[in-house]
Structure formats: structure tokens, C-alpha cells
Chains A and B, each alone.
Chain A
């Protein structure tokens, strides 16, 4: 059947894997956007720039920091970066929330969008100024280099890509578990529903809001580290991605955590399949789906109007 369409099973599997990887990134990023939107009522336009920044911080840790600090042996490897970079990014997010975003909560949502848009331009512009747009390469860790051959199917799976899919799904579903099944998550959901009432019960809501933003930014940084060995570390890597993620968020609706994860993964796969069957449309297929969803179910697949 595949031969009839001029598509080999290898090609199909390869594109599905690429789709799944893109889907994992969509899922992590839209999850972060959904958490931030839930508590802060702000669409974090800087999410893509923060993802870029995560990748750059990882790359700087691996190659540059030894020169900066004057210790030639010092180099933060991939595994450390996976932990350190999200923490650094979360700290960065905390500072942004405390110094800037906090001042906008009493205003129209649009100001949050505009402020974070400005932040995105600053971050993107600075990396472009320092490192140009050519991109830097970040090697995958030795443990994950090479590929797993699946001879029975006649395909090979690159180890690093399989790892990315597994670890991002783990992170997404643990986040879902924490939010939907634990006490901390219950506070978080209550804060989304009615922050004033929650505060009246003695919960430190402003702190929770800060931490939610920090967590969302941390997730973006984490996705950046994961992406560094796959894509070139490039100042523009985030801004192109974030627009697609916005479309994903519109399709899924931001009301549900699981909805954000599933929509992200699903649309990644759809995009991968489109690359196999009709490559010309792969760039726009998500936007077309968005238009259709807007016509049929304006609130989004998992959404409720807020």
C-alpha cells in the first residue's frame, strides 16, 4: 500500500518521529502557556524567547562559561544543564514577574501581551547581537548518540530523539498529575477559578502566581535544552515556534492541562503526516486546522470561554 503512494515505511516512521518530537515541544510550551494564563491571565509572548534563551544558556554553559570565569576545565554538560537551565530560567521568570508583570494585573489582559512581546524582542535582539543568526551547534551527550536499529521493520530510531519524546512526555504528565491530583495542584486550580476567595482562606496567592510564572518559564527553558542538540541553537528558533504554539493553544483552548498536552502532541503528528503526504502544506496545516476549529467550535476543542 505504501509503495502505491510512493511512500516508504521508513520515510513514514521517520516523519512520524519528527512529528512526535515537534508535538512534544508544542505540548511542553502550550502547557506552560496554559499554566501561566490560568493564574496570571497573561499570554506570555516571551515564551518562545525564553525557550531560545534556555537553549543558549545550555550552550553557554557547555562552551563559553569556562572562558568567562577563567576555569578551562569548567563545562556544564548536558545532564547538568537539564536541571540547572530550567532553574536559571525559573529565576529569570521570577524576577520578570516581581518587577514588571505584577504591575499589570489590574489592567486589561492586552498589556501583558504587549509587555511580554517587548521582552521577547529584547531577548531575541540581544542574542542576535552577540551571536549572529547563523546558529551554534550543541552535541548530543555521548550516551544518547547513535541509533537503535529495528531490523524487523527495517528502520532505525535515533536514540536522542526517542529520549526527547520520552522525557518530555514524562514531564508533561507529571505536571498534569501534580495539578490534577495533589493538594498543591488543588490550590493552583482554586487560584485559577477564584483567587480572591483562595486568598481569604489564607493561601499566599501572590507567591503562588510568581511561582506559576517561574514554573512556566522553567518549562520553556527545559524545552530549549532538549531542543539544543536537535536544532541549531539560533536566536530565531523560538519566535517561529511560538506562533505555531499560539495556534495550538487556540485549537486546544487553555481551560484544560490535559487538553494542552494532547492537542500539542496530536498536532505535531498531524504536521508530520502532512510532511509525508503533501509536503507543501506542512507549514500551514496547523493554521488551517485552527481556522476550521474556529468555525466549528470557537471555544477550542477542550476550552471553555473565560
Chain B
């Protein structure tokens, strides 16, 4: 990482730290962006760096959201324990779905993950403790480590920011490690990676489980922020949204999913009052991105600077 990029990250973190001291951006909105940014970054580890398009990531996001909501509300767990168990749950689900899905390649992989996540959705509709159509509402944010009261939005914001930075750091570490290099090799040319002696399936599965667990982390955080877990979190529209965030921001770039999440969440906030237009707009962005804008926002900017140099 060169000094200019380091400077950029420093400025971004500083802005994020100073965010509670202004009145233009609502903190709840900022927290929502951070949760979805983490979700999109986790997804990007799989799509952008391993080359696997999962169309079922809502299953992990939603499962962790439900687990955390249930444990914190009905079982009276502390928020940190609820989050950890949510992440464990989504990681385990990621292991199950991942080991089935990696048996097929390409578009079949996408269809298998979509179908399995739809199964998880049906379970969420039918199981007794998920609250059916209502979901689990009124989840208490609780006291973090028994010390910090998360009912305060500023405290909650810093907690979300810390968790986001942790997740982001894990992904960055993974991408830049030898493990990440193998993932990229699989993305570029799977037969070659096999012939070099790598156990490709194991790497794919590990990438899938990490991605699922971090998606779960995002889902658990979202539950605490909004104090609810509903069927929306686990529906395939959510899987589509995270694909869109990654595509729009730039697949295979580190910051792309964060930018994409910011744009998509902002747009939805803006369009929320006019009903179905949000779905239509999402669809149009998809079409435009695929036809004319495949590198995404960050990808285009990076390409621009590379050309200049």
C-alpha cells in the first residue's frame, strides 16, 4: 500500500470518527450504511476475489440477524454474546451451503445458492421462534460488556464503526495474504490453480465460510441498530441488493463495496416514499451497470488514475 492510499484511508477514518459531531447526516443512516458496507465487503471477498457469484447471501445476513434478535430479546443475552453466536450460526450455515454449492461451477453455483437460501427463507417463515410475518421486533440494544449503554445512538455508532473496521481489516488481511493470492489464482484460472497442487475446493469453501460469517456479523449489527429482524433480511431481494452494491461500487476493489453500499442505501432512503419505484430503480441500475459500467465507481476511478500514470 503506498502512502497516498494510506492517507486516503486515514482521512476516511477521521471523517467517520467525526461524524457524530454534525447535524447533516443522521447517525442511524450512517450506521445502516456501515452495516451494509460490511455485508457488501464480505460478499466481495467471494465475488470479487474468488470469482464465485453467490445469489443467496441474504441467508447468512438474515440467519445471524434472527439469532441475535432471538438471543438478545427472548433469552436476555448481552449484545456481544448475541453477535458472536449470530456469527457462529451464519458461519456454520455457510459451511453447509458452501460445501453443497462448490460442487457446481459458474451459473449453477449462483442457482444452487439462490435455491438453498430460499429454503432458509421458507424455514424462517415457518419456524415458531422467528415471529413469521412480523419478525422479531423490539430487540433491546443492551449494555456492551456490561459497561456501555448502546441505547445512546453515539455509543452505538462508535460500536458499529469499530465492528465495521474490524471486519474490513479481516477482509483486507485475507485478500493480501498468501491465502488471498490463491483465491485470486482460482478466480483467474481454476484449472491452473489445481495443476499447481492447490486443493481448490478447500480454498473456495474457506472463502465462502469467511464471507458468510462476516455477512452474519453485518446482519447481527443491523439487528442491534434497528432493533428488529424481519423476513426482508433473509429474502432473495436482499441477496440481489448486495450483488448490486458490489457491482456498482466495483467488483474486486477493496473500497468499491463501501461506496456501492453508500449509494444504494442512500438511493433507497430517497426513493422509499414512492413505493415500487425503488425496485424499478434498482433494476435499471443493474442493467446500466452490466451494459456500460462493469468496473463500477471505484474500478473506473482506479482505471482513470492508472491511465494517467
Interface of A with B (CB < 8 Å)? 37, 43, 100, 103-104, 107, 109-111, 113-115, 117-126, 128-129, 239, 243-244, 246-247, 249-250, 280, 283-284, 286-288, 290-291, 294-295, 298, 305
Closest 9 CB pairs of A and B: A118-B286, A121-B283, A125-B279, A122-B283, A125-B280, A287-B119, A129-B276, A247-B115, A298-B103
B283 A125 Cβ-Cβ under 8 A: yes
Chain B residue numbers with a CB within 8 Å of A111 are 290, 294
Stretch of B1-9, B10-18, B104-112, B159-167 at the chain-chain interface: B104-112
B286 A250 Cβ-Cβ under 8 A: no
A121 B112 Cβ-Cβ under 8 A: no
Verify if B53 is at the interface (C-beta below 8 Å from A): yes
A43 with B110, Cβ < 8 A, contacts A121-B286, A298-B103 known: yes
A117 B286 Cβ-Cβ under 8 A: yes
* Closest A residue by C-beta to B119: A287
A243 with B118, Cβ < 8 A, contacts A100-B291, A118-B284 known: yes
Minimum Cβ distance to chain B for residue A181 (Å)? 28
Chain A residue numbers with a CB within 8 Å of B294 are 107, 111
* Closest B residue by C-beta to A37: B107
Verify if B287 is at the interface (C-beta below 8 Å from A): yes
Q: Could you tell me the distance between the alpha carbons of A121 and B236 in the complex, rounded to whole angstroms?
A: 12
Q: Could you tell me the distance between the alpha carbons of A280 and B125 in the complex, rounded to whole angstroms?
A: 11
A interface footprint on B221-265 (CB within 8 Å = 1, 0 otherwise)? 000000000000000100010010001000000000000000000
Minimum Cβ distance to chain A for residue B206 (Å)? 19
22 contacting pairs across A/B (C-beta < 8 A): A43-B110, A100-B291, A107-B294, A109-B107, A114-B290, A117-B286, A118-B285, A120-B283, A124-B279, A124-B283, A125-B276, A125-B283, A129-B276, A129-B277, A243-B236, A244-B118, A246-B114, A286-B115, A290-B116, A294-B112, A295-B100, A298-B104
Partner of A114 from the list B106, B118, B247, B280 (CB cut-off 8 Å) is B247
- Most A Cβ at <10 Å: residue of B100, B114, B115, B126: B115
Verify if B123 is at the interface (C-beta below 8 Å from A): yes
Q: Could you tell me the distance between the alpha carbons of A104 and B287 in the complex, rounded to whole angstroms?
A: 11
A interface footprint on B6-39 (CB within 8 Å = 1, 0 otherwise)? 0000000000000000000000000000000000
A246 with B284, Cβ < 8 A, contacts A118-B290, A129-B276, A294-B103 known: no
Interface of B with A (CB < 8 Å)? 53, 55, 100-101, 103-108, 110-112, 114-116, 118-119, 122-123, 126, 236, 240, 243, 247, 275-280, 282-287, 289-291, 294
Partner of B287 from the list A43, A115, A295 (CB cut-off 8 Å) is A115
* Closest A residue by C-beta to B47: A110
Partner of A284 from the list B101, B112, B122 (CB cut-off 8 Å) is B122
* Closest A residue by C-beta to B112: A250
Partner of A119 from the list B103, B276, B283, B289 (CB cut-off 8 Å) is B283
Q: Could you tell me the distance between the alpha carbons of A290 and B122 in the complex, rounded to whole angstroms?
A: 15
* Closest A residue by C-beta to B125: A283
Q: Could you tell me the distance between the alpha carbons of A287 and B289 in the complex, rounded to whole angstroms?
A: 31
B283 A290 Cβ-Cβ under 8 A: no
A122 with B287, Cβ < 8 A, contacts A243-B115, A250-B104, A284-B123 known: yes
* Closest B residue by C-beta to A99: B291
* Closest B residue by C-beta to A121: B283
Chain A residue numbers with a CB within 8 Å of B280 are 121-122, 125-126, 129
Minimum Cβ distance to chain A for residue B116 (Å)? 6
Minimum Cβ distance to chain A for residue B263 (Å)? 15
Q: Could you tell me the distance between the alpha carbons of A123 and B283 in the complex, rounded to whole angstroms?
A: 9
